[in-house]
Amino acid sequence: MKAWEDLVGTALLGTRRRPLDLSGQPPAVQEMANARSEPAEQLLAAAAVLTTYRRAGRRALTDVKPLPVAAADERPFIPALARERLARLLAASHPDLLQEWLGVLAGTRFRVPPEFLPLLAESARSKAALRGPLVAVAGSLGAWLGQRNPDWAFLAAPAEESGDVWQYGSLAQRRRWLAARLTDDADAAREALTTSWKSEPADVRADFLGVLAGHVRDADEDFLEAALTDRAAAVREKAADLLGRLPDTRHGHRMAERLRPLVRRRGRVLDVALPQTESGKDEGTVRLRTLVSAAPLSFWTEFGPPAEVVRMTVEGCPPGVLRDAWAAAALRQRDETWAHALIGADPGGRATPPLLGVLGPASQAATIGHLVGRLPTESFARLVHELPRPWTAELGTALLDWIARQDDHRLVSHAAVVIARAVPAGCLRHPLATTRLTMDAGPWRRALTETLNFRREMYEELA
C-alpha cells in the first residue's frame, strides 16, 4: 500500500526534511490527521488511524467462490508409531533418512496425514531429491496443495498420460514421461525424442541422453552416432558413453582401427604411442584417452589376458592415462574381467570404487573382503565413501563385518556414518545392530547401532 509507505518514508527522514503529504491517504485518515496542528502529531495520528484502517477498514469481499475440494483419497493413514517417526525425521532434518522413509511408504497402502504435507513440501522445495518420493505418496491432497502454492508446484500431478506433456511439460515432467515411455512403449518414446531433438537446448539433450542410458539398445546406434557430432561437448561425451555400452558398434570398430597402429608389445613392455596432432603432446594424450575408452576391450586380447596386460610396463604414453582409459572402457562395457584386473593392479586407485559397481553381488563382496587385507584401514575407510549405490545385501554385510572389527579412528567413524545409512534393508538385523553394546563402546559405534535400529524400526512400522 503506497499510503503506508509514504508515512514510513516521512517517519524515517523526519517531517522537517520531508513534509508530510496526506493527499495519498484515505479520506478518513486525512480527516483525523488534519485535526492536529503539528506535522509530527499529524504523522503519528495518520499512522495510528491507517494501522487500524488496514486491519479492519476493508470492505467485505463479494462473489467469493470456495476453493475446489481435493479428490478423495481412500488410503488409510500411517500408523501412530510411523507418525511419531516422521515428526522426528522432520524435526531432526535428515533428508537421506526422510527420502528412504518416503520410498518405503510409497510401497505400502498408507498415506501421509494432511498436517504433515506442508512441512514435507517445504523440505522437498529446498531438497530436490525428496520431490520424487513425496509426489508418489502425497496423493490427491498433495496435488491440490501444489496447485495452490507455486513453491510446491512439483506436487501438482500432471496429466502425464497425455502426449501434450512431451511438448508443453516442464523438464521434470518430460523426463518422467520419457522414462515411463521407454519402459512401456519404447518405439513411441524414441520417435518423440528424435522428432524434437534438434530443437532442444544442449543441456536438455544431454539430460535426455542420461534418461536413455538405462534403456539403450542396438537400434539406438544410428541416433547416438549422429549425436557424436553434436556442437555441445556434454552431448558428445554422453553419446560416446552410451555407444560404449553397445557391443560391436561401428564407432567402436573405428576407434580400434585408429588405435591399432599405436600399440605394440615387446616382451613385458606395452609400447603405446601418442596420436600425432598439431597441438602437441597434451592433445595427443586426450586423443589417446578417447580412443582407448571407446574401443572394445576385446582389442587388447592379442596383447595378452587383462590381468597380464594391466600389469605390463607402459612406455610411450603416461601409464596413468592408459589405466584411466581402460577403467572408463570397463565401466562403459560393464566388463567384469577387466574390472577385476584393474582393481587387482591398483586396489587403492581412484577407479576402484566405480569399478566395484561393475562386479556382480557375490564377486563384489568377495573383492571387498580381499581389499580389506590389502589396503590400510585409512585407505579402505576412504573407499567406503565412494562406493556406488545402491549397495547389495552381500556388500552391505561385508562392510558391516569389516567395521565391526575396527577400533576407534576418525576415518573409521566417518565410514560408519556412510555404512549405517547405505546398507540395504536386508542388513538391518546384522549382529552389529542387534548385539547389546558394552559401556566402553565409542560414540561412533553407538551412533552406528542407533541408526541401524532406527532404520529397521522404520521398515517394521510401515510393514
Between CA 46 and CA 19 the distance in angstroms is 14
Between CA 379 and CA 412 the distance in angstroms is 10
Whether pLDDT at 383 is above 80: yes
| Residue 407 Rama label (left phi>0; alpha psi -120 to 50; beta) | beta
Mean pLDDT within 313-320: 94
Q: How confident is the model at residue 198 (pLDDT cuts 50, 70, 90)?
A: very high
Q: How many CB atoms lie within 10 A of CB 68?
A: 9
Q: What is the pLDDT of residue 210?
A: 93
**How much is the pTM?**
0.75
> How crowded is the C-beta side of 451, counted as CA atoms within 13 Å?
21
Whether pLDDT at 432 is above 70: yes
> What are the structural domain ranges in the chain?
2-56, 80-155, 164-246, 247-345, 360-463
Strands 263-266 and 269-272: antiparallel
Whether pLDDT at 171 is above 70: yes
The runs of H, that is alpha helices, within 66-201 are: 80-92, 95-106, 117-126, 131-148, 164-168, 171-184, 186-196
Whether pLDDT at 59 is above 70: yes
Q: What is the pLDDT of residue 162?
A: 52
pLDDT 10s digits, 243-283: 999 988 999 999 999 999 999 999 999 999 999 887 767 78
Whether pLDDT at 157 is above 60: no
Q: How many CB atoms lie within 10 A of CB 439?
A: 4
Place of cell 522426528: 88
Whether pLDDT at 47 is above 80: yes
> What is the average pLDDT value for the chain, to the nearest integer?
90
Between CA 197 and CA 191 the distance in angstroms is 10
Strands 269-272 and 313-315: parallel
CB 346 within 8 A of CB 352: yes
Whether pLDDT at 407 is above 90: no
Q: Is the peptide bond before 27 cis (omega within 30 degrees of 0)?
A: no
Q: How confident is the model at residue 33 (pLDDT cuts 50, 70, 90)?
A: confident
